[in-house]
């Protein structure tokens, strides 16, 4: 336990270090890194989105962009490394060990912390997924550095500092955060916030392997089993091209079927606002917004959704937002592109029929017969 | 068994103000609640205590007014409440917060017994980072289970805990050893209302109040704004979109008119939708 505490001598009043005074030992920290998240052999798309963002930062800083690939020793991990080059990596740091087959905080924290301490990146980016946040929090605390969570914008300042912008207070404000005097500067970014960069076929480049230096007995936590979300539709909301969503304005779980029906005709995913999850009408993996999924579809149709800021932050990346709401003053009309002031319960079936007729003329005959 | 639950008092509404000079959020005058995710953590802890016996200590770091949240937690049935409050803690980012909370948990450990479990919510609704839990675990050298939907087994003899952890694309069933830190997901259980006896007891119950010094903080420069590697340089409102939605007239065939407007605005969508729709 702790020794006798020192009496605090001065108040932590002023912001002690808003000026950049990078300690000498941090000056060796160079380059931009992206943690490539893979679980059960599949790279999470957020990693490639981050490679796109990381490339821009690296180019501005005139440094290399490196991917950090951590996973079991085998084909999938090799493939993730090769893919990193196609998404702009100059080099790859790799920790491949069969103990890394499943994500576990202890082993992954050790792997990533070791690579950081050895090769010293200036900026380290991770996806704000369940894995990324679990890992980022542990790594940042181990390294005693700053971590800015859930960023929506990343840039570098004139003095080369990472300027990480994130929503705060449920998206009603944005703040730009710096980690001036500590390295690496760490940030997490939610899936679908950054655009997916183009994949360019390239040969594999330099891969730097790093050992894990652990045996199974060193890792206390054991994975007893894994239950995949079998309903494949479950995880697709964030990556859907078309999303139809309903809100409280629909009035009842029965009316929510109208949203599902339109989604089916459009080959779309369906989603909802938060109150519908709280009422138990729709499962939580369908919630869109600050505490739900961020979406980035080409077309988003919102029926009976008011457009509260917490909902707005999850849909703003959509190319085309269409709102159906009975209240012409609903906030959703402030950020929708196309709107219609009408009863969604009546319009949705008509819209479903009209889309069906327009998109696939034959289906009308099929249904008629 | 001893469980420590970390809770945070957060502003209830979006009516917040930003300090013009320091760019920090001014919380005065805004109604507050216990961070909703922390209530799930508290409920999970109370259920375990009811089943296995022992005590639940709630801990918060915050201004003196955070006492309200602790009292609320006592009415739900927590056994003890600790308020860590000191001006030195003001302006803490996640790293400085985990330093202070970990120090307080060490002190709780010597005063009231070492915890077998430390609970937090998966994230707060004001900061949203989901990092304080993992940070505390790292500081205290505890094992961690984040995004836990359900604690499926607890074996106090073998000192093991099994939990269902939400991960990308599925649920991991993990077994780890006590002591460990757990961050709880939402909507996993019903929040109890608290018994009348607890409410009466809570109204009078003493709340343990510690300053940085009381809690045994060794290095005050690791606390609050000074101990925070991240610096908020700018706070601003999101840019409003200049143009409002183009409203479709609700005429004879509103559905057709709406579809027309959509395709007029994004012509390539029609072909793409036709392709997507064919899949159905
Ligand atoms: C910490 C926090 C996090 C949150 N996270 C999220 C989140 O992730 N996602 C989210 O969505 N919300 C979130 N919320 C909730 C958010 O603030 C709003 O309460 C919520 O989005 C409102 O849902 P709604 O628009 O469906 O309902 P309401 O606000 O009740 O709006 C219903 C709308 O339907 C319209 N309407 C009524 N009848 C009809 C009809 N027949 N036809 C057409 N329109 C009709 C009404 O005019 C109204 O605009 C969060 C809140 C908090 C405090």
Output the CA A334–ligand 1 centroid distance in Å.
14
CB contact under 8 Å between B167 and A130, yes or no, is: yes
Beta carbons of B75 and B202 less than 8 angstroms apart: yes
Ligand 1 and A327: CB distance under 6 A: yes
CB contact under 8 Å between A18 and B259, yes or no, is: no
Share of chain B above pLDDT 70, in %: 92
Q: Which of A144, A147, A220 sits opposite B177 (nearest CB)?
A: A220
Cα dist from B230 to A20, A123, A346, B92, B251, whole Å: 12, 13, 51, 9, 55
Q: Which residues of chain A are within 8 Å of residue B230 when distances are taken between CB atoms?
A: 146-148, 177-179
For the stretch B62-97, pLDDT in tens is 999 999 999 999 999 999 999 999 999 999 999 999
Q: Tell me the mean pLDDT per 10 residues along chain A, length 369.
A: 38 50 92 95 95 98 98 97 98 98 96 98 97 96 96 94 89 88 96 93 96 96 89 70 97 97 94 93 90 91 94 91 97 95 97 91 48
Q: Which of B110, B177, B236 sits opposite A173 (nearest CB)?
A: B236
Q: Is A21 helix (H, G, I), strand (E, B) or coil?
A: coil
Is the pLDDT at B138 greater than 90? The verdict is: yes
Look at residue A2 in the predicted model and tell me its pLDDT. Answer: 39
For the stretch B205-244, pLDDT in tens is 899 999 999 999 999 999 999 999 999 988 887 777 778 8
Look at residue A5 in the predicted model and tell me its pLDDT. Answer: 37
Ligand 1 and A274: CB distance under 6 A: yes
Look at residue A140 in the predicted model and tell me its pLDDT. Answer: 97
Look at residue B134 in the predicted model and tell me its pLDDT. Answer: 96
CB contact under 8 Å between B130 and A133, yes or no, is: yes
Look at residue B194 in the predicted model and tell me its pLDDT. Answer: 77
Output the CA B126–ligand 1 centroid distance in Å.
19
Report how many Cβ contacts below 8 Å link chain A to chain B. 329
Look at residue B197 in the predicted model and tell me its pLDDT. Answer: 82
Look at residue A168 in the predicted model and tell me its pLDDT. Answer: 81
CB contact under 8 Å between B143 and A137, yes or no, is: no
* Mutation choice for ligand 1 from A171, A275, A335, CB with most ligand atoms inside 8 A: A275
Distance CA A249, CA A326 (A): 8
Look at residue B4 in the predicted model and tell me its pLDDT. Answer: 98
| Percent of chain A that is helix, strand, coil (3-state, to 5) | 35, 25, 40
Look at residue B21 in the predicted model and tell me its pLDDT. Answer: 65
Output the CA A350–ligand 1 centroid distance in Å.
23
Tell me if the bond preceding B179 is cis, omega within 30° of 0.
yes
Look at residue B22 in the predicted model and tell me its pLDDT. Answer: 61
Look at residue B257 in the predicted model and tell me its pLDDT. Answer: 95
CB contact under 8 Å between B245 and A336, yes or no, is: yes
Please give, rounded to a whole number of angstroms, the shortest distance from the CA of B44 to a CA of chain A: 19
Look at residue A236 in the predicted model and tell me its pLDDT. Answer: 79
Q: Which residues of chain B are within 8 Å of residue A171 when distances are taken between CB atoms?
A: 238
B243: left (phi over 0), alpha (psi -120 to 50) or beta: beta
Nearest-10 Cα torsion for A107, A112, A114, A119 = 160
Is the pLDDT at B193 greater than 80? The verdict is: no
CB contact under 8 Å between B244 and A177, yes or no, is: no
């Amino acid at each position: 336990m702790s020794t006798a505490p020192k009496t605090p001598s001065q108040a932590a009043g002023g912001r002690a270090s808003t000026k950049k005074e990078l300690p000498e030992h941090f000056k060796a920290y160079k380059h931009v890194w992206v943690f490539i998240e893979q679980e059960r052999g599949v790279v999470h798309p957020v990693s490639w989105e981050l490679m796109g963002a990381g490339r821009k930062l690296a180019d501005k800083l005139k440094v290399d962009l490196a991917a950090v690939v951590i996973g079991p020793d085998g084909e999938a991990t090799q493939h993730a490394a090769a893919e990193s080059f196609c998404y702009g990596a100059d080099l790859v740091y790799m920790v491949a060990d069969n103990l890394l087959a499943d994500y576990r905080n202890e082993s992954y924290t050790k792997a990533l912390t070791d690579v950081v301490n050895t090769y010293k990146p200036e900026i380290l980016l991770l996806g704000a997924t369940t894995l990324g946040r679990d890992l980022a929090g542990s790594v940042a605390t181990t390294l005693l550095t700053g971590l800015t969570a859930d960023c929506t914008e990343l840039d570098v300042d004139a003095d080369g500092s990472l300027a990480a912008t994130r929503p705060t207070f449920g998206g009603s404000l944005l703040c730009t955060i710096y980690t001036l005097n500590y390295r690496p500067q760490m940030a997490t970014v939610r899936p679908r916030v950054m655009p997916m960069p183009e994949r360019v076929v390239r040969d594999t480049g330099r891969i730097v392997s790093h050992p894990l230096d652990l045996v199974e007995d060193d890792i206390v936590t054991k994975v007893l089993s894994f239950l995949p979300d079998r309903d494949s539709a479950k995880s697709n909301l964030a990556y859907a091209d078309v999303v139809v969503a309903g809100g409280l304005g629909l009035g009842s779980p029965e009316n929510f079927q109208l949203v599902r029906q339109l989604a089916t005709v459009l080959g779309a995913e369906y989603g909802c606002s938060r109150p519908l999850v709280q009422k138990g009408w729709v499962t939580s993996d369908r919630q869109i917004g600050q505490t739900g999924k961020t979406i980035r579809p080409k077309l988003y149709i919102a029926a009976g959704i008011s457009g509260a800021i917490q909902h707005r932050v999850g849909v703003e990346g959509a190319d085309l937002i269409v709102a159906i709401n009975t209240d012409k003053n609903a906030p959703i009309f402030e950020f929708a592109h196309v709107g219609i002031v009408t009863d969604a319960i009546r319009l949705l079936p008509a819209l479903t029929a009209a889309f069906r007729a327009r998109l696939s003329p034959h289906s009308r005959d099929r249904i008629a017969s | 068994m001893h469980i420590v639950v970390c809770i945070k008092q957060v502003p209830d509404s979006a009516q917040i103000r930003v300090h013009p000079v320091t760019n920090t959020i001014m919380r005065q005058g805004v109604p507050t609640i216990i961070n909703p995710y922390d209530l799930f953590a508290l409920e999970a802890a109370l259920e375990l205590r009811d089943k296995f016996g022992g005590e639940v200590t709630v801990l918060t770091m915050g201004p003196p007014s955070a006492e309200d949240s602790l009292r609320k937690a006592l009415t739900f049935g927590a056994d003890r409440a600790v308020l860590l409050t000191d001006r030195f803690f003001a302006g803490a980012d996640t790293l400085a917060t985990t330093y202070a909370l970990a120090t307080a948990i060490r002190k709780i450990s010597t005063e009231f017994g070492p915890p077998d479990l430390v609970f937090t919510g998966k994230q707060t609704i004001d900061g949203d980072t989901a990092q304080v839990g993992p940070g505390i675990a790292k500081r205290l050298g505890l094992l961690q289970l984040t995004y836990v939907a359900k604690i499926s087994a607890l074996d106090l003899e073998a000192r093991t805990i099994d939990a269902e952890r939400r991960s990308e694309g599925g649920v991991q069933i993990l077994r780890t050893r006590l002591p460990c830190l757990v961050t709880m997901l939402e909507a996993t259980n019903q929040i109890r209302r608290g018994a009348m006896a607890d409410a009466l007891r809570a109204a009078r119950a003493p709340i343990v109040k510690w300053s940085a010094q009381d809690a045994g903080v060794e290095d005050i420069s690791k606390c609050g704004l000074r101990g925070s590697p991240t610096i908020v340089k700018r706070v601003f409102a999101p840019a409003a979109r200049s143009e409002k939605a183009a409203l479709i007239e609700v005429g004879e065939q509103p559905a057709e008119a709406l579809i027309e407007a959509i395709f007029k605005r994004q012509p390539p969508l029609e072909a793409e939708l036709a392709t997507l729709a064919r899949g159905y």
